[in-house]
Amino acid sequence: MADASNNDAFVEFERVQKSYDGENLVVKDLNLIMPKGEFLTMLGPSGSGKTTCLMMLAGFETATHGDIRLGGTSINNIPPHKRGIGMVFQNYALFPHMTIAENLSFPLEVRKMGKSEREAKVKRALDMVEMGAFGGRRPSQLSGGQQQRIALARALVFEPELVLMDEPLGALDKQLREKMQFEITHLAHRLGITVVYVTHDQTEALTMSDRVAVFEDGRIQQLAPPDKLYEEPQNSFVAQFIGENNTLEGVVKEINNGVALVQLDDGELIDCKPVNVSKPGERTRVSIRPERVEYNKDRLSEGAHTLKAEVLEFIYMGDIFRTRLRVAGNDEFVIKTRNAPDQVRLKPGQQIEIGWLPEDCRALDA
Amino acid sequence: MSDTTQNGPVLAADGTPLKRSLAKALRMQKIRALMLIAPLLLFILVTFILPVGDMLFRSVDNRIVQEVLPTTVSALETWDPASSELPGEAVFAALAVDMKAAAEAKVHTKVAKRLNYENPGLSSVFRKSGRKIKKWDVENEGPYKERLIELNDGWADIELWRTLKTYSGKRTMGYFLNAVDMKLGAEGVTVRPEDERIYNTMLIRTMRMSLIITFSCIMLGYPVAWLLANLSTRSANMLMILVLLPFWTSLLVRTSSWKILLQQQGVINDVLVWIGIVGDDNRLVLINNELGTIIAMTHILLPFMILPMYSVMQTIQPTYLRAAKSLGATNWTAFWRVYFPQSVPGIGAGSILVFILAVGYYITPALVGGTKGTFISNLIAYHISTSGNWGLGAALGAILLAVVLVLYWVYDKIVGIDNVKLG
Amino acid sequence: MKMTKLSALAMTTALIAPAAFAEDMANELTLVSWGGSYQASQTKAYTEPYMAANPGVKIIWDESSAEAVAKLRAMNEAGNVTWDLVDAVASDSMRLCDEGLAEELDHDADLAAAPDGTPASEDFGDLLVSDCFVPQIVYSTTFGYRTDLVGAEAPTTVCDVFDLAKFPGKRALQKRPIDNMEWALYCDGVAKDDIYDVLGTDEGVARGLAKLDTIKDSVVWWSAGAETPQLLADGEVVMGSTFNGRLFSAIAEQNQPIGMLWDMQSFDLDGRIVPAGLPADRKARVMHFLKFATDTQRLADQAAYISYGPARASSAPLVGKHAELGIDMAPHMPTDPANAGNVHTYDYEWWADNRDDLDAKFQAWLVK
């Protein structure tokens, strides 16, 4: 939805670095621009630097180098309590010795707000998360999902323009998590707030975000809307990390008209889209999504390269079939096919030929 | 299935009523549980409950007078202590018989000791008389009134007889009254003369100083516990060793070290004089007074404050503070409104522990407290191990126990004992 | 308890059977003493030679003499006396004897006669203050002072202790009424012979305490004999009372700048009592030890390690030089004519009768 080159940058990271021990950088040269109202997710495995980035933005960590700006002003030297950023923590961090209403009232009290105004705002916030009847309870008397809503309400009650969420749904069960994902996105869009959301769950990232920043090794590997991220991963880490992915290794033979000819390690040739390979002779990892693989010869385009494959396993999953193949020496090659009436159900041991469109097959870094 | 259709009690598979089989199964469990804790129960019974019971009993026990002077006590029954007349010949004759028997059995000093607590000076009357009466022929040498008074004119003192009469019962409140600076005389309960009043002063002093020590422990221990809970594991372990170090040193060694540090020619004074803060002829008196006791006991009891605080603080996640700050609280507000209330149970547990330990301490106050910094426990120890007045020691102990229980109850009412946790 | 003891005894007896022991004697001896250099002198003079002569006997020391009366009372009440021989001062031994807590002895039968044949009772003479008591030493409680801290003029009389103007600084006094009350009355103008008459009245007690009140703020109270030498050595007090032998050790053995103030030194006796009601085997052993450890030579030997006078008349001529320092011991004895110019004769009888009364009042005064 938003364009990274937008001029009305709300949150900016410029050449930000962070090191805890003076030897290793956990965040390496981070640049990020977020417009107002965007829901951005920082996605990555643990230790990738995403949480550190969030903490630097919140003010609990200081950047070793670089500049972090909020609404155009540098906030490097502003203490967390003056940044006016709402935050939802992984374990909710509801104050156990206060009631729900007191928890919500806390940020208003420290802002020296009058009592009646406070009460009105607390009530509105509780109603917003449909927890109006729970003001007098203690956090320990609430379920995980309820606590989650209260944490959200507390982060929003003082009407911050930016809200940070650090794996807020990590402790919930799957069903509740999906429900809350939906609620949070809706609430964020309705209130028009800017959200930076940290998670290691790629489904969460894809379903909730306007843009996703994939973190690995202290860098943003790719920053893109969910669909682009999934369909056009810029490197093999992103391809592997987002969704299911098949990988074949080989060497680039030639690149012509935006199509790269790749010779796989067992000698077979396939056509791919060169993403980050530039010249023949480079090693590459080829990435193909399981649902883009075709084994029905009729549907393959004329003259397309095909590969021989042996069916190893067929799993019936209801809406889809998941079939594991041996392709070019890779036993973990998976294809997914829709459960359609005319769909062929493959049998283990069956020899087939598979192929795909060259643009679905992305030649990435080795 | 069939038993659900019946109207009678629900039956188990073998036909016995379900309730009974359940009770049987539970009883077995209970017995097994009881067997598991039986050794501990027995241990507590033998080493704690029985001694405490014995102490409570001793604080009112007065059998010795009747045991040693049985005929005298019964002869005295008809005598009116309010009269200004000495008891008659019959009482004296009974006394002579009792005293001879007691002196031969060497128990007359015991009753002398007992009565001496109530009326100082009686001891020597009994002791001196006992040595002589041993040689009397109590069957045929009357009249005894004159002979006894001639032997020791203490027997002509009507106060002696009033004391004997007042304390002839098997039970007495004398020890407890003594423990609150009162006495039971022939004319009822009175406050002791001013130069004999010490126990109330000591009890109040003990409570006041224990509170000061507890408070000092909180003030000194809180930051340390906070550091412990927030440092990296490695540094926390190092610090923990430092905190626990006092535990590994004998109490006596520690207290003696305080002596060396605090005395007027001690290390602290030497350093202060060397720096020039204190003049050489104006050295601070840091020991043999209240201050000495407070310093040494705060040091000794500090770990008992730090450990519960630390274990509670460990459970307070740092995200609470971050959350508070993200909500706009300054460092201080975040600490005071969010962190501190959650650490209160640790303070409570530590305070109860330290206070109760402090109230009962006596070695340290005895060594560094001089006369102004000693506790009521020192008097208890004095009565148990030096003066031999176990009844008074027991009464003081019982009062101390009661005071601690009352304070515990008050604490429960104000703070709530559920709010105390050790981690 | 009894069972365990018996079986333990049976076992030890079985184990050391070849060592040719009188079978009716226990092989363990628990001695109670005062600790410090005094106990060390007893080890050298009594137990080491005894153990050399009787290999296999185990000696256990308990430094509880200061609490001997209370502890014996407690043990007696509990019916389990674990001590075999207790060092006690004369007044304590009288109290213990009166209360039946100490065994009455036949001094002539139980103790060795002097080398010239004088029976023990005659050799000890007046010092046999109680039927239960075997005197050991004559000691005195007296004052020591820091020669370098008292100023140009050293204290010469006990009343200098009460003179804060002339001798400012702290003093160490024993935490008990005995001696302190007498000194206080003496320095308040009571004639030496009238001290106990005055002390026997409430007014007298008040007068003594009032005198002590004048220096109360400058007093460090001690309860173990070793404290005063330490306090003097540290410079914590300028003068203090303690047992003369402790001061001797500090002066002669440790070369501390301490001077002796012998004026009004308070003579006392320390000796031994056997707790009443010991089992036969233990009693046999302790009597065996007692006979050995109270003979003329042994008592004289102790004086080679500490400056206390032996309690037997026949031992006096045998007192020689210090065993390690080689100095003449006689001038350091409290009984030396040069030291005994003005002594306070401490009245055991009076204290045995009045100690409980005075203790209570003294304690009340102390915590005020």
Beta-carbon separation of C363 and B265 below 8 A: no
Q: Is B198 on the interface with C (CB under 8 A)?
A: yes
Residue in chain C closest to B105 (alpha carbons) equals: C100
Q: What is the DSSP letter of B76?
A: G
Domain that holds residue B136: 63-196
pLDDT interval class at A7 (50, 70, 90): low
Q: How far is B234 from chain A (nearest CA, A)?
A: 16
Beta-carbon separation of A80 and B326 below 8 A: yes
Asked whether residue A364 carries a pLDDT value surpassing 80, the answer given is yes
Residues C10 and C104 in one domain: yes
Beta-carbon separation of A87 and B326 below 8 A: yes
pLDDT interval class at C2 (50, 70, 90): very low
Residues B294 and B220 in one domain: yes
- Are residues C261 and C239 in contact, defined by beta-carbon separation less than 8 angstroms? yes
Q: Is B64 on the interface with C (CB under 8 A)?
A: no
Residues C128 and C13 in one domain: yes
- Chain A CB contacts of B316 below 8 Å: none
Which position has the higher pLDDT, A42 or C326? A42
pLDDT interval class at B6 (50, 70, 90): low
pLDDT above 90 as % of chain B: 40
Partner residue opposite C70 with nearest CB, options B121, B379, B386? B386
Work out whether strand A330-338 and strand A320-327 pair parallel, antiparallel, or are unpaired: antiparallel
CA distance C141 to C262: 9
Asked whether residue C30 carries a pLDDT value surpassing 60, the answer given is yes
pLDDT above 70 as % of chain B: 97
Per-domain boundaries in chain A? 9-236, 244-365
Asked whether residue B5 carries a pLDDT value surpassing 70, the answer given is no
Residues C164 and C230 in one domain: yes
Which position has the higher pLDDT, A237 or B134? A237
Is residue C74 a part of any domain in this protein? yes
Tokens of C208: 């003594």
Beta-carbon separation of B328 and A95 below 8 A: no
Q: Is B334 on the interface with A (CB under 8 A)?
A: yes
Domain A9-236 bears CATH identifier 3.40.50.300: yes
Residues C82 and C175 in one domain: no
Q: How far is C39 from chain B (nearest CA, A)?
A: 21
Backbone angles phi, psi at C335, to 5 degrees: -85, -5
Give me the number of domains chain B comprises: 3
Q: How far is B187 from chain C (nearest CA, A)?
A: 22
A132: left (phi over 0), alpha (psi -120 to 50) or beta: alpha
Beta-carbon separation of C70 and B385 below 8 A: yes
pLDDT confidence of residue C363: 84
CATH number, residue C107: 3.40.190.10
Asked whether residue C21 carries a pLDDT value surpassing 70, the answer given is no
Partner residue opposite B326 with nearest CB, options A85, A90, A97? A85
Residue in chain B closest to C172 (alpha carbons) equals: B370
pLDDT confidence of residue B8: 67
Residues B79 and B180 in one domain: yes
Mean pLDDT on A313-333: 91
Q: What angle do CA B131, B137, B139 make, to 5 degrees?
A: 135
Residues C130 and C154 in one domain: no
Residue in chain A closest to B321 (alpha carbons) equals: A93
Q: How far is A82 from chain B (nearest CA, A)?
A: 6
Which position has the higher pLDDT, B110 or A102? A102
Residues B235 and B314 in one domain: yes
pLDDT confidence of residue B305: 94
pLDDT confidence of residue A1: 40
Beta-carbon separation of B324 and A87 below 8 A: no
> Which is nearest to B144 in space by CA: B111, B95, B98, B100?
B95
Which position has the higher pLDDT, A193 or B10? A193
Determine the residue among B327, B342, B418, B419 to mutate to test chain A binding: the one whose Cβ has the most chain A Cβ atoms within 10 Å. B327
Beta-carbon separation of B374 and C367 below 8 A: yes
B299-337 pLDDT, tens digit each: 999 999 999 999 899 889 888 999 999 999 999 999 999
> Which is nearest to B329 in space by CA: A91, A193, A154?
A154
Show Cβ contacts of residue B237 under 8 Å, excluding neighbours closer than 6 positions. none
Q: What share of chain B is helix, strand, coil (3-state, %, to 5)?
A: 75, 5, 25
Residues B249 and B308 in one domain: yes
Residue in chain B closest to C352 (alpha carbons) equals: B124
Is residue C163 a part of any domain in this protein? yes
Beta-carbon separation of A80 and B322 below 8 A: yes
Mean pLDDT on C133-143: 94
Asked whether residue B134 carries a pLDDT value surpassing 60, the answer given is yes
- B128-142, C289-303, C331-345: least confident range: B128-142
Mean pLDDT on B359-378: 89
Which position has the higher pLDDT, C24 or A328? A328
> Which is nearest to B324 in space by CA: A102, C213, A356, A123?
A102
CA distance C171 to C242: 11
> Which is nearest to B375 in space by CA: B232, B205, B131, B195?
B205
C248-267 pLDDT, tens digit each: 989 988 899 999 999 999 98
Residues C122 and C37 in one domain: yes
Backbone angles phi, psi at A172, to 5 degrees: -95, 160
B376-421 pLDDT, tens digit each: 999 898 888 877 788 999 999 999 999 989 988 888 887 777 766 6
Residues B81 and B222 in one domain: no
pLDDT confidence of residue C4: 44
CA distance B133 to B72: 15
Specify the CATH architecture of the domain A244-365. Answer: Beta Barrel (2.40)
Q: Is B116 on the interface with C (CB under 8 A)?
A: yes
Which position has the higher pLDDT, C293 or B280? C293
C224-251 pLDDT, tens digit each: 888 899 999 999 999 999 999 889 989 9
C272-325 pLDDT, tens digit each: 999 998 999 999 999 999 999 999 999 999 999 989 989 998 988 888 888 888
Is residue C281 a part of any domain in this protein? yes
Q: Of B196, B211, B234, which residue sits at a domain end? A: B196
Residues C168 and C313 in one domain: no
Look over chain A and give the mean of its residue pLDDT values, rounded to a whole number: 90
| 3+ Cβ–Cβ pairs closer than 8 Å linking A and B | yes
Beta-bridged to residue A254, according to DSSP, are A261
Residues C160 and C171 in one domain: yes
pLDDT interval class at C15 (50, 70, 90): very low
Q: How far is B175 from chain A (nearest CA, A)?
A: 48
Global pTM reads 0.80
Q: How far is A55 from chain B (nearest CA, A)?
A: 10
C170-212 pLDDT, tens digit each: 999 999 999 999 999 999 999 999 999 999 888 999 999 999 9
Asked whether this complex has an ipTM greater than 0.85, the answer is no
The CA distances from residue C60 to A334, B407, C82, C93, C289, in Å, are 86, 44, 11, 21, 13
Please compute Rg for chain B using Cα positions: 31
Number of H helices, E strands in chain B: 22, 2
Q: Of B177, B196, B215, which residue sits at a domain end? A: B196
Residue in chain B closest to A160 (alpha carbons) equals: B327
Domain that holds residue C226: 139-266+334-367
Asked whether residue C159 carries a pLDDT value surpassing 90, the answer given is yes
Residues C10 and C121 in one domain: yes
Residues C204 and C281 in one domain: no
Determine the residue among C95, C353, C361 to mutate to test chain B binding: the one whose Cβ has the most chain B Cβ atoms within 10 Å. C353
Residues B222 and B84 in one domain: no
pLDDT interval class at C7 (50, 70, 90): very low
Beta-carbon separation of A111 and B328 below 8 A: yes
Look over chain B and give the mean of its residue pLDDT values, rounded to a whole number: 87
A326-354 pLDDT, tens digit each: 998 888 999 998 888 888 888 999 999 88
Partner residue opposite A110 with nearest CB, options B319, B328, B342? B328
Determine the residue among B234, B320, B326 to mutate to test chain A binding: the one whose Cβ has the most chain A Cβ atoms within 10 Å. B326
Residues C100 and C202 in one domain: no
Give me the number of domains chain C comprises: 2
- Chain B CB contacts of A107 below 8 Å: 327-329
pLDDT confidence of residue A155: 93
> Which is nearest to A154 in space by CA: A181, A191, A129, A171?
A129
Determine the residue among A54, A60, A61, A81 to mutate to test chain B binding: the one whose Cβ has the most chain B Cβ atoms within 10 Å. A81
pLDDT confidence of residue B15: 77
| 3+ Cβ–Cβ pairs closer than 8 Å linking A and C | no
Mean pLDDT on B189-209: 87
Residues B127 and B40 in one domain: no
Count of B-C CB contacts under 8 Å: 81
The CA distances from residue B173 to B185, B188, C229, C357, in Å, are 11, 11, 44, 20
Residues C63 and C178 in one domain: no
Backbone angles phi, psi at B122, to 5 degrees: -70, -30
CA distance A247 to A270: 13
Taking the CA atoms of B111, B112, B117 and B122 in sequence, report the sign of the dihedral they define: positive
**DSSP calls for B365-413:** HHHH-TTTS--HHHHHHIIIIII--HHHHHHHHHHHHHHHHHHHHHHHH
Beta-carbon separation of B325 and A97 below 8 A: no
